[in-house]
Amino acid sequence: MSRDILFEIEAVDRTYVDANDNMVEALKNINLSINKGEFISIIGPSGCGKTTLLRLLAGLDVPESGKIRLSGEEIGGPDPTRGYVFQQSSLFPWLTVEKNIASGLMARGVYKQRKDEIAGYIKLIGLNGFEKTYPHQISGGMAQRVAIARALINHPVALLMDEPMGALDAFTRADLQDKLLELWRENDTTMILVTHDVDEALYLSDRVVIMSPRPGRISEVLNISLSRPRQRSSADFTALRNSILEKLHLVSEIQQPEYTI
Amino acid sequence: MSILKQRAIRLANSSYVQKDALPSRFKPGRQGGNYTPAIASYIGLSAISLSGFFIALLVNLFFRQTAEADINTYPLGSSISLTADEAYRFVLAVLILIYGVAAVYSFWREERRKQFLSRVPFRFVIGLALSLWDILGTKLLLLPQPFFPGPSRIIESFLMEGDYILQNTLYSLRLFTVGFTLGVAFGVGTGILIGWFPKIYYWVYPVLKITGVIPAVAWMPFALTLLPTPFWAAAFLIVICAWFPVAFLTAQGIASTPKINFEVAQTLGAKTPYLVLHVAIPHAMPQIFTGISSANGFAFTTLVMSEMLGQPGGLGYYINASKVWSAYYKVFAAIIVMAVLFSAIMKVIGAIQSRVLRWQRGLVK
């Protein structure tokens, strides 16, 4: 791959103190480069620091040591160039669907100049007719699509997603995955997805980063060269899935409920 | 019975909530609102609704006045003059007319029909109560006088000095509006500062907690000495009593904004002004309104009490002045005006609240 590097993560450590006053090494010596325009997934058991890594990329958290650079420049605080989609529904409950998407523009003070674009994003996520509804009146899948649109309207170079489909049912999830691929293809945005769903990671990503816990570190980075559109039932897909599950020491420990197989 | 069988039965019943488990107001029935009346019964029930007031009117007309009473005639304009009894009957007629119009208006929509009918027994009983009160308080004078005058006697005070009552009502309304608006504005302002800045929280919050529970009228002596006019002294007391609950709950609402809401806004590029104005304040809005409604109640109390303690006008002043002359019917008249005025103010605040918090509709019961 000869594409430009977007994020450079260099020897990043992050420790925090948990509720019982124990030091937890959330991340230890993380090194990773993320290419411009790629779809990369970070996968691993809970407690492996994948969310912490994503928050560092967003600027919502600061590394203890090491550097994170975006296009060569060290990142500061949160910025609309790095859109973020949270795990749980994060829409503002007091704003309608339309206004929630608009809040992406309002927060930066560019609402007046660009409010005409909102309708396009509503269409993009397929929520026509739901403009005036409030978040509690729509389903979880719709809410996550609104959250994605709200982040995308700022034209981010990268969209960071923290298990955005974790709380959704299987059908809605498959649907949203296809929507995500469609958005990725149309916008040329770098997609960084944290997930614990091996299938999801395989279905979507160019590369899969496997992390292991205590301390959180990267154990392997896999290139996924399956041709798109991918078939979940194809032999290659299944073989890859099994090998990843094996790497996660899962095939022998079926009782682990963390993973959706 | 085997456990499996019990489970099967429970499963079979689980499609709806068991009726006995619900508080009675959720049970279907006339009050529960699941009852759709036919048109004929709607007309019948509407007639019953009005008949209470009609009975009260007939009682006033035909029940013999056995007790001695002065019957004064009060001129209204140049050509009409009314006695107290006539004015009372006129009020009853107006009530019948209003509810008659309401019945016809509600007829065309099912939910309005239901709503109208839900109050049928209540209106009917009010009519009967008025009749009984009229008999005991005016016709036979069995109630101890002058403490419990009959309904027509109370209405007489409006005939005697309606202008004066209106004047005092407007004085109260002005005092309330000034004090309450300023109090709410200060309350929201300080609440935001306390909720947002930890330093201000540290210094101001304890003061708020301690001084806030003191009834505002306790400051009356200071207010009267320190402020130029009695009006501003009373307004100051209303400001204080409205300020406390609003500031307290606003601060809580701001401080309890979930971190994720701020993080979302920050990843969208928001800076501090946006975080305060468009994240923290909207999140605090339900609590701000809780503060405003309790401030409303406190403000009414403070208003009337401070008027009784030293104001040149107002409904509280009117009550006090009437009490001196043992004119208890005027006291009742002032109480009725207060009831109407305060309910109207609460209605207005309620309407603003449901407009501002319309996003909560369906989210909160």
In a domain, A256, yes or no: no
Cβ-defined contact of A60 to B362 (cutoff 8 Å): no
Domain membership of residue A260 (yes or no) is no
CB contact, 8 Å: A24 with chain B?
A: no
For residue range B186-196, what is the model confidence (pLDDT) as tens digits?
999 999 999 99
The pair phi, psi for residue A195, each rounded to 5°, is -150, 165
Q: What is the DSSP string of A64-86?
A: SEEEEEETTEE--S--TTEEEE-
A48 pLDDT more than 90: no
3-state secondary structure of A243: helix
Report pLDDT digits (tens) over A74-121.
Answer: 888 898 889 999 988 789 999 999 999 999 899 888 888 888 889 888
Mean pLDDT (whole number) for B275-281: 94
Mutate to test the interface with B, among A94, A105, A137 (most CBs of B within 10 A): A94
C-alpha neighbours within 13 Å on the C-beta side of residue A206: 15
* Angstroms from A90 CA to nearest CA on chain B: 7
Any A CB within 8 A of B256 CB: no
Give the chain A residue whose CA is nearest to the CA of B356. Answer: A94
Span B340-356, pLDDT tens digits: 999 999 999 999 999 99
pLDDT of residue A17: 84
Minimal Cβ distance to B362: which of A94, A96, A136: A136
Distance CA B333, CA B313 (A): 16
Q: Is residue A255 part of a domain?
A: no
Range of the domain at A231: 5-241
At A44, which CATH number? 3.40.50.300
CB pairs under 8 A between A and B: 67
Please give the Cα distance from A136 to B226 (Å, whole number): 51
Average pLDDT, chain B: 87
Total domains in the fold of chain A? 1
Tokens 């925090």: give the residue. Answer: A16
| Distance of alpha carbon B241 from alpha carbon B230, whole angstroms | 17
Q: Domain residues of chain B, as ranges?
A: 39-143, 154-360
- Percent over 70 (pLDDT), chain B: 89
Among residues 142-161 of chain B, which lie with CB inside 8 Å of chain A? none
- Cβ–Cβ of A86/B263 closer than 8 Å? yes
C-alpha distances in Å from residue B226, one per residue of B76, B140, B178, B215:
44, 52, 18, 18
CB B292 within 8 A of CB B206: no
Across A161-170, B63-72, B212-221, least confident range: B63-72
Distance CA B63, CA B102 (A): 29
Tell me whether B270 touches chain A (CB under 8 Å). Answer: yes
Looking at domain B154-360, its CATH superfamily turns out to be MetI-like (1.10.3720.10)
- Across B221-235, average pLDDT: 91
In a domain, A217, yes or no: yes
- For chain B, the three-class secondary structure string (H helix, E strand, C coil) is CCHHHHHHHHHHHCCCCCHHHCCHHHCCCCCCCCCCCCHHHHHHHHHHHHHHHHHHHHHHHHCCCCCCCCCCEEEECCCEEEEHHHHHHHHHHHHHHHHHHHHHHHHCCHHHHHHHHHCHHHHHHHHHHHHHHHHHHHHCCCCCCCCCCCHHHHHHHHHHHHHHHHHHHHHHHHHHHHHHHHHHHHHHHHHHHHHHCHHHHHHHHHHHHHHHCCCHHHHHHHHHHHCCCHHHHHHHHHHHHHHHHHHHHHHHHHHCCCHHHHHHHHHCCCCHHHHHHHHHHHHHHHHHHHHHHHHHHHHHHHHHHHHHHHCCCCHHHHHHHHHHCCCHHHHHHHHHHHHHHHHHHHHHHHHHHHHHCHHHECCEC
A258 within domain boundaries: no
